[in-house]
Structure 1
Amino acid sequence: MNRIAVSNIRKTFQLKPGQFVSVDGKETDRITVIDGLDLTVRAGEFMTLVGPSGSGKSVLLDIIGGLTQATGGAVHLDGEPITRPDPKTAYVFQQYALLPWRTALSNVEYPLEVRGVQKAERTATAKHLLSLFGLASFGDRFPSQLSGGMQQRVAIARALASEPEVLLMDEPFAALDAQTREILQVELLRIWAKIKTTVIFVTHSIDEAIFLADRVAVMTARPARVKEIIDIDLPRPRDGDIRSSLAFNEHRARVWEALRDEVNRAQKDWALSPDFNN
């Protein structure tokens, strides 16, 4: 069953006053980031999105999350149009976005507090989630007292506190060192295997995309469409050893083959166009 359906999405941005770009030989003060994009995501699926920088990956995630409106087309969650943020959906950003005046425990409690959940219940839920992420003894620490990897674990635990049916993740591990990044990838899959929420995960890393995903959606250079969706038929559960397998390397080669021309095309456009979100 499809949980998310994106149909013929188009997104155009107005440039800053005095800024113009050339499109098909004509000067314009608007730029189309996404044009004619279709995508379906199944219930309980872990889908990753890869594409060149500036290809509109983050913009697409914002549209699915109801944080911005498409210029054209439609996006549906469980058959209902998405016009604003939905309580079924949670978002994890690249920056941890923790509340600095709250402890780790209190940060995880926050979405439950907003919903009016009683103190005892929300505290028990937050402690359970921190324990799942190996942070049981850090609940009384403030974000400034935690490493980057720990802060991102808290951010993910907070997103999961309200038991979302859809989890949107925008390069959540990009700012972390390689070792911490791989550890959190394994942790994320371990938690996901238990809760089976639908995940859409944006990344620039082909290896990360393959390691996490049931399917990888490869996006074109701007204006973005989905160029190809690649099934990742690697066995689960997955650990770091799978990265050195022949099957993993075959998937890596296939994703790069689909992505390479788009990266080259995007590089030619970067010098001519203003910067936009990924």
Structure 2
Amino acid sequence: MARVAVLLGGLSPERPVSLSSGKGCADALRRLGHEVIEIDPQNPGWIAELQDARADVAFNALHGEWGEDGRTQGVLDYLKLPYTHSGVLASSLAMDKDKSKAVFAQVGLPLANGKLMHRLDAAKAHPMPAPYVVKPNAQGSSVGIFIVREGANRPPEQLLDPDWTFGEEVLIEEFIDGKELTVAVMHDRGALAVTEIFVASDGEWYDFDAKYSDGGSRHVVPADIPQSIADQCMRAAEAAHHALGCRGVTRSDFRYDPKRDRIALLEVNTQPGMTPTSLA
């Protein structure tokens, strides 16, 4: 059996998610008979700890900045330690929503209309007609995301918060009403299925709490959508996975508007959460 270093925790706002993912993965690996060493990059000496572990492979269960944006992958490449999930380039591209959208546009994938702005500029006046979505350009787990509804007087005032911690660039995208869909892709097996996500009755959309709270959402597999739309989603998820140069497993998120019979690829997650409520 292998000696596996599980990287978990880390420094990003998604630390609690990573701790949950990492603990679950470590426990599963132990049940399979592997020797597991848990390493948290929040500790200043984590690289030396990783070297001392003499692991055969690193299981990267980190999320967000440093963990899935190519930087930790670069450290692992430097150490010549094999690791799970995508490499430096694919990870850094996927983490940058604007750059990944540029890649997706080049291969003709369906996208939501949007633009990249400094958060303070986006706070001055509506950057596009409402409804629209404000997303930090380089965060995951739906942290720092706001939906500006039709009739709103101004952009989210949180964009002016001096304690804002989600980066200075935000992506402004049209809000697409309809169904929340997601597709897991395994590099050697392709797209697995289309999952439909239903948010709990007291939730407005699939935000951080809906993703990671017990009862925050429920998932239906396969999604209750026309087969033609399911096929489109699966083809788009596979194309996005390969366009970024991903490896291992990814999860692509979509919106589907039944009224206009339209899908839009929102993003590709190179390290999907593996918490008890996660989708892949």
TM-score of the pair, normalised by structure 1? 0.27
Structure with greater helix percent: 1
Greater RCO between the two (CA within 8 Å, min separation 6)?
1
TM-score of the pair, normalised by structure 2? 0.27
